[in-house]
Each structure stands twice: as C-alpha cells, then as structure tokens.
Amino acid sequence: MSSLTVAGLTKAFTSTPVLSGVELHVPGGSFTALLGPSGCGKTTLLRLIAGFDDPDSGTIALGDRIVAGAGRSVAARSRGIGFVPQEGGLFPHLTVAGNISFGLPRRQRNDGGRVRELLALVGLDAGLADRSPHQLSGGQQQRVALARALAPEPSLVLLDEPFSSLDAALREETRAAVSRALTASGATTVLVTHDQAEALSMADQVAVLRGGRLVQLTDPRTLYRRPGDLDVAAFVGEAVVLDAELRDGLAHCLLGALPYEQTAGVAVAEGPARVLLRPEQLRLSVPGPAAAVARVRSVDFYGHDSRVWLDLVGGPTVTARLDGADLPSAGDDVCITVRGTALAFPVPHPTPVAAGAPLG
Amino acid sequence: MTLALAVAVAALALLPLGYIAWYTADIGWSGIQELVLRPRVAELLWNTTRLVVGTVICCAVLGVGAAWLVQRSSVPARRVWHVLLVAPLAVPAFVNSYAWISLLPGLDTYAGALLVVTLSYFPFVYLPVAATFRGLDPALEETARGLGLSGWAVFRRVQLPQLRVALLGGSLLVALHLLAEFGALQMLRYPTFTTAIYDQYRATFNGPGATMLAGVLVLLCLVLLLAELRLRGRRGYARTGAGAARPVRPVRLGAFTVPATAALAALVGLALVVPLASLAYWMAVGASSGLAGTTLLTTTGTTLALASAAAALTTAMALPTGWLAVRARGRIPTLLERSTYLGSAVPGIVVALALVTLSVRATPWLYQTVPVLLAAYAILFLPRAIVPVRSAVEQLPPLYDDVAASLGSSAPDRLRRITLPLLAPGIGAGAALVFLAVVTELTATLLLAPTGTTTLATAFWSASSALEYGAAAPYAVVMVLLSAPATVLLSRDPHGAIATDAPRGLTT
C-alpha cells in the first residue's frame, strides 16, 4: 500500500478546462471517495491517476515516486494501479479465471489456487472460474473485475462508479463484498461516485469535487455535519436552509432563536446570515403559543421513516424527517422544534438560493 | 502509421477511377467528342438503359411479390420458400446464363437477357424487402384495417411506403450489378458497355475507344452510387426498432393458396431448378465425353490459392480503414472508408482495363503477374472485408486496452491477448466473404490472370465460349458448391443487413 498525492493538477480537453488545480492527499491504506455531480471531472481525475491520460500540469505521486508531471510520465502498465471500470469491463473472450489471472506473471497464470484465493477474497464461489463473463450477474461481474484488479497486488485500487449499473438490492450486497475484499487486501482505494450515500457509508474520507476543483476533503461525519458551504451541504444530504439574523449568540429565523455553530474556516459576522439544518433535526408537535407554526403540505411515507413537507407561515417550504407512527396529515397545523444546533453561513452574493427545498 | 496505411489503401481503391479521370482530361474535349458522341455509343447506351430499367422493374415486382407471400401470407412452407428464393445467389449470373443459352440457343435477344438477369438478380430486392416486411409493426396494418381499408389498400397505403427504402436500395443494387455484368450478357450476345469494352480491348488492346467507353460506364455507376449514398443515410433511420413486438398473423389466402404456391414454384423453378438441371444435364454429357479430372483439380487448387491470397491481403488492407472509421471518427476516416466503397463500385472490367494499362505503362515487370490480379481483387472486394472488420472494432471498446494496461500488459502483449482475439471473428468473416467473391470472379481474372493461370471461372468461360458445354459444367458445379455456404448465411441473416453489401461477387 502506498499513499497518493495529487498537486496542482490541471487538464483541459480542446480548451474546455475539466480539472483546474486539484490538490488531494490519500493516506496509505485508506479508502477515499471522490464525490461529485456528473461532469465535475472526477472520472478524468481517475484516468489521470491511472495513467490513461496525461495531465496538462501538476504532479501525481504514489508514495515518494512521481508518476506524472514534473517532466515524467510513467506508463499505465508500470504504475501498479488496479482499475475497476464502470460496467466491470471483463474481457469477453476470456473465462473468469482467464480474466482474474490476466495481470499475473506468465508462470502463475495457470495456477488455479491463486484464482480460487482471489474468488474467495471477493466472496465468490470457486465454481465460477470456468464461466464466461456473460454468464455472470452484474454484481458478480463487478466482483470478478475487482479480483482481477487485486490479483497483481497493486498498491492503489481505483473504482470508477462500480455500483451505478446495479439495482438497489444487488448494490448493497456488492458494496459490502467489495468493502470486505478491499479491507482484507489492505490496498489504498479511491472510489469515484456521484452517490452521496455510497461515499458516506463506504469511505474513510470523502473528497468533494465541483467544477474541476476539490472543494472539501474530510471524513464522512464531518462532511455531513459541517459542510464547507451550502452547495456541498445540499449535495451530501437533504438540507433545510433558512434566512437568519445572528444576534447575541443566537440565530433568529422562522423556526425561532437557535443556537448556532460555524464551519471551520468560514467566519460569519453578526447580522444577516443563512442557517443550515438537517430534516431529521426538525420535530413536530401540537400547536402551542411558544414554537413556530407551519402547515403540513404533504407526507411521503417510506415505511422506516417519512418525509413531511411543511409550509412555514410567511415563508418557504421545508422538509422534516420523522420516524414513528404518529404522523400528521396534509392540512394539519403543527409546531416545529429544533434539536441540536444550526450551522451558520454568510449570505451568498449576489442572490440568495431559494431556501428550504432539498437540493440533494 | 495507421492513417498512412489507410490512405495508401484508399489511394489503391481510387486508382482505376483516377486513371479514367486522368485519361479523359488528357484526351480533351475534341477527343471525347470524337470517341463518345457516335452512333455506336448511343446504341450501347440504349441497350444498357433499357436492360437496366426492364430488369429493375421485373426484379422489383418479383422481389416484393415473393417477399409478401413468404413473410405475410398463409402460403405453406414459408421457411423453405425463403431459402429457395435466396438460393439463386449461389449460381453466378454467367453460369445461369450458360445454363439457359445452352438449352435454348434462341435466347440471344433483349427478352432473353431480361429473363436471365432478372432470375439472377431478383434476390437482391427480395432479401431487403423480406427483412423489412418482418420488421414492420403489425399494429399499423391492424389500425388501417380498423379504419376500413381493404387488403389491397393496406398494402398500397400502409406497407408500400414503409418498404420504399428497402425497395429502392435493392433496385439500385440490381442496377449497379447490371452495369458491371459482363459474363452473362456476353454469353447471351447482348451488347452493353461492359461487353463492348471487352471486345474493344480484345481488338485494340488498350486503345482510347475502350477507355472512353469505360468513362461513360463509370459515369453511369457514379450517378447510381450518388443516389444510393443519399438513400443510405435514411436507411439506418428506417430500420431502427426493427423486429416486430408480436408475431404477425399471416393473411389468409383461401382460394388463392394454390395459384400463389404455383407462382412461387414457377419462380424457383426458373431461377434455381432450370440452371441446376441444365448443369446436371451437361455434367452427364461431359462425363460421357470424358473429362480430365486432374485439370479440374489443378484449376480448383489454383482458384483456392488465389482466393486465399486475395482474402488475406484484402482483409489486412481492411484493418487500418476499419479501425480508423471507429476509433478516430471524423471527416478524414469517413472519407477514406467511402473511397474504398466508391472504388469497388467501379465495374470489374474497368478496374481490369485500368490496371492493365497502368502496369504496362508504369511497371511493365508487373504486367500479367499475380500481384496485379490480387490488387484488382482487393479494389473490387474491399468493402466486403471492411464492413465486418469495422463492426468487430465497434465491439471492442478502448476500455479493454486501458484495463489491460493497468494490469501491467505492454502494447504488443495487449495486441496479442486482447485486440486480435476480439477482432478475429470479424476478420474471419471478412476474409470468408472476399474468398467466396474471388472464387466466382470472371471479368478481372480474364484480363489480368498471368498467362497459363486458369481459375474455375476462366476455365468455365473458355470452355463455354467454345460451345463445349459439357466440358464447362464441372467448373460451374464446383463454383456453385463453393458459393452455397455464403448463400445459406445470407438467408439466415435476420435483417438482410449484409445483403446490400455482400453478394456482389457472387454474380460478377
């Protein structure tokens, strides 16, 4: 296992900049997710790291070894980086065993023991070794692709949206198997995804990419609780964003006077501001004199929990996440209380974002 | 590197066209006037035109009628009829022509020529139209019936408009083949441009007369090809979503079942049974007069060797063009690919004439050698190799190369372990199509084969030209047997997709 350090990386395709000055450090043995909307440059970054393309400027280093930039370009085949593409990319003319042993030295290619070992590592039955790729399910193909990438014992494994083509049930199962295999192999892992739940649940650290730049690099909990700005906040989860007035250590907004905190590195002065709450912080109760009043617009019932759409009096629509059986109905008037603290952000310039709607 | 190779291939493909154009420019307007504007050319033009128009109309009627009966009516044994209606493609047109004229010497008229070439070429219309009938959504017909249209009105107002593209495409293919047809028409003594060029060439070698006739012929081909290219753009659109969601309920023929079956039987009888019976008859005659079996064996050996060499060479030449057309999409690769199609649309007689003249003038040491003959085959049959190679490259995403590289595989290693194994089926299919085309190629082989080299087609030709029909028959039988597998493949092809590009060589 070795660390990955990316510094000042830029790349443009026919004068359209895709990456502009990306800085990223992935510690050895860790699992990092590259999270961003489609078109943010995350796949390009992955291809540069793998060595399929060359950066315009900046450097990529594996441990202490510079593999791209600073006048060097180590070929993809000499980087020792495992790559798992989106749909698995299994070679259709080779069996499962042929695929897995593709990157092994010639002498080990016919060693059935090694193939069985790798199949076991990704949680597949050894009986699949002689199958053709088209006889496997999508999840099995992904696991074989991972086994193939892990076979030459790479120091770094890159996964390019490996679960996006799987249906929901298979995705969970495949994710768990892949996580186990990667932990067991001890390889440093970089996963590209646009699915925030996947990034938050699988990774040790999440790098958020936006418009060709790295906007935040931190662990999943911090990312969710203290996002660097409101866009990141909305991207990594549902958000309730309200206009507020910061005064006397409290944020005064439509939901009352709330205790607030600030994200590290984002200073907010007293006065007009925006505050972020998560829908699960909102609690509903029968109307009383003290708390904020809202009217229930509609309820999305999911079984394990529900989302309640609330029209605030004289203000925007916000959502609350509620568990339990005691749900309001559309048209009910309810009181809203807030658990925990709000997160304050400066008022964006020039026009404020439409508040309250879940943007994630 | 790949680009340079593809440019060289395109240049070779355009060589005959370039030669004709250069010659025409060189001879000047007065020369053209003298050689082209004369009664003989007018007569040839009239002969060619009326034969093309007549054949296209007959093929269209037979092809659409047969396709409707087989695909949409309750005529019995539809699968069998389908194979039997494609099977005439296994009999080269000049063999068909020989089969008829050897039985009925009075066929050397316009009507005779029309009969023989129609029977040889109607499958070119039948195949794409049948494929389109299969793909038509039955819901449209049912809707039309629901609106009160009669069966005939449904055909005319609903089905025919949807068949238009397939019908026009097939008709243009018939016309292009007919312009290039030499053997069949020469045997029927029906003079057209190809036969006139051949006679001129025999009389005056590479005189300006033959070249100018070739110029007029090429011009006719280009006009047709331009129409074909304009259609091709729309053809893909017309075919999307082909494959009916539900099986079609065939139209009940009722009392018409017997006449309809009889009509199909008559068509198959004339197009397939008559030539095969004639071949069998002449085989028997030839056997009684005693045939040198060793000559047949050596000729077959020569033909197979030439066809294998041509298949290997042409497929190798198709690789860079097919690769670039997929991997480096853009104007230049498209232009290079189209150049090879354009080059192969030039009739075999013109390609041969151009190569003879060029090799005599520029490279006399190459005149009448195997390389020049192979070059002619390559020019004529390149698209056959490019089409399957190209679709194989489309099945090979660049991703596989990236993944293999990340697994530590070097460029030559990737070529050996990934690229070639995945391209192999396409390369094999292309080589097989070229091989089969060369086995029955007559025109270019007649003009370009080295002295003493005889192929099945040329041996057949010299025997039948000398009216030794019995001696000619065994060569024809071998050619038919070798062509049969390709025909079976064509009848199985679900969309008739290769039908529009593939079967040219079965007939020229």
Question: Cβ contact (<8 Å) for B406 and A93?
Answer: no
User: Which pLDDT value is given to residue A353?
Assistant: 46
Please give the average per-residue pLDDT across A285-312, as a whole number: 85
Give one DSSP letter per residue of A339-355, joined into a string: -S-EEEEPPPSSSPPPP
User: Distance (Å) from the C-alpha of residue A180 to the closest C-alpha of chain B?
Assistant: 22
Q: Residues in chain B with pLDDT < 70?
A: 205-206, 228-229, 231-248, 288-292, 493-508
Are residues A209 and A76 part of one domain?
yes
In whole numbers, what is the pLDDT of chain A averaged over residues?
A: 87
Is residue A70 assigned to a domain? yes
pLDDT digits (tens, 9 = 90+) for A99-136: 999 998 888 888 788 899 899 999 899 999 999 999 99
- State the total domains in chain A: 2
Is A78 in Cβ contact with B422 (below 8 Å)?
A: no
Phi first, then psi: give them for residue A287, nearest 5 degrees. -60, 135
Instruction: Tell whether A356 is covered by a domain.
Output: no
Tell me whether B418 touches chain A (CB under 8 Å): yes
* pTM exceeding 0.90: no
Q: For chain A, give percent helix, strand, coil, nearest 5.
A: 25, 35, 40
Domain limits for position B201: 2-240+259-506
Residue B116 sits in a domain of what CATH number? 1.10.3720.10
Q: Annotate B307-336 with b (16+ C-beta within 10 A) or e (fewer).
A: bebbbebbbbbbbbbbbbbbeeeeeebeeb
A106 touches chain B (CB under 8 A): no
CA nearest to A145 within chain B: B403
Q: What is the CATH number for A55?
A: 3.40.50.300
Distance of alpha carbon B94 from alpha carbon B476, whole angstroms: 9
Total domains in chain B come to 1
Q: Does A132 touch chain B (CB under 8 A)?
A: no
* ipTM computed for the complex: 0.81
Q: What spatial distance separates the first Cα and last Cα of chain B, rounded to whole Å? A: 34
CB of A98 within 8 Å of any CB in chain B? no
* Residue B290, pLDDT score: 57
Q: A165-183, pLDDT tens digit by residue?
A: 888 888 888 888 888 999 8
Spell out which residues of chain B touch residue A89, defining contact as CB-CB under 8 Å: 397, 399-400, 403
Would an 8 Å CB–CB cutoff place B425 in contact with chain A?
no
Q: Which residues pair with A271 in a beta bridge?
A: A246
Give the closest of B404, B406, B421 to A82, CB-based.
Answer: B406
**B254 part of a folded domain:** no
Residues of A in contact with B418 (CB under 8 A): 91
Q: Are residues A219 and A270 in the same domain?
A: no
Helix ranges (DSSP H) in B240-330:
257-268, 274-289, 293-327
CB contact under 8 A, B400 and A89: yes
Chain A and chain B share a number of CB contacts under 8 A equal to 56
Task: Determine the pLDDT at residue B229.
Answer: 67
Q: List C-alpha distances in Å: A86 to A158, A245, B403.
A: 11, 46, 11
Range of the domain at A82: 4-225
pLDDT at B335: 84
* Contacting B residues, span 368-397, partner chain A, CB-CB under 8 Å: 397
Q: Measured between CB atoms, does A63 come within 8 Å of chain B?
A: no
- Residues of B with CB below 8 A from A148's CB? 403, 407
Does one domain contain both A120 and A244?
no
Instruction: Give the DSSP letter of residue B330.
Output: S
Residue A355 counted as domain residue = no
| B404 neighbourhood in chain A, CB within 8 Å | 91, 102
Residue of B nearest to A153 (CA): B407
| Closest alpha carbon within chain B to A150 | B407
In the β-sheet with A333-338, what is the strand arrangement from edge to edge? A282-285, A333-338, A292-301, A306-312, A317-322
Cβ of A102 within 8 Å of Cβ of B407? The answer is yes
In a domain, B248, yes or no: no
As a whole number, mean pLDDT of residues A180-207 equals: 91
> Which residues make Cβ contacts (< 8 Å) with residue B170, sequence separation at least 6?
B59, B60, B63, B124, B125, B126, B127, B128, B129, B500
- HSE toward the beta carbon, residue B425, CA cutoff 13 A: 9
The residue among A70, A59, A56 whose CA lies nearest residue A12 is A56
CB-based contact A85 B402, cutoff 8 Å: yes
Same domain, A324 and A217: no
Based on the fold, state whether residues A142 and A266 are members of the same structural domain.
no
* Closest CA–CA distance from residue B426 to any residue of chain A (Å): 14
End-to-end Cα separation, chain A, in angstroms? 34
Cβ of B409 and A103 within 8 Å? yes
Shortest Cα distance, chain B CAs vs residue A77, angstroms: 4
CB–CB of B100/B116 below 8 Å? yes
CA distance B157 to B138: 14
> Are A247 and A221 within one domain?
no
Residue where a domain stops, chosen among A190, A225, A260: A225
**Cβ atoms < 10 Å from Cβ of A63:** 15
Interface residue A74 vs chain B (CB under 8 A): no
Q: Do residues A171 and A29 both lie within one domain?
A: yes
Q: How far is B422 from chain A (nearest CA, A)?
A: 7
Averaged over A225-238, what is the pLDDT? 90
Q: Which of B404, B410, B422 is nearest residue A102 as measured by Cβ atoms?
A: B404
Q: Could you say which of A76, A91, A92 has the minimum Cβ distance to residue B406?
A: A76
A77 → closest Cβ in B400, B409, B421: B409
A91 → chain B, closest CA residue: B400
* Same domain assignment for residues A15 and A151: yes
Interface test with A, best of B394, B407, B419, B427 (most A CBs within 10 A): B407
Is pLDDT of A303 > 90? Answer: no
Q: Spell out a b/e string for A17-49, using b for 16 or more CB atoms within 10 Å of the CB, else e.
A: ebbbebebebeeebbbbbbbeeebbbbbbbbbb
Judgement on whether residues A142 and A83 belong to the same structural domain of the protein: yes
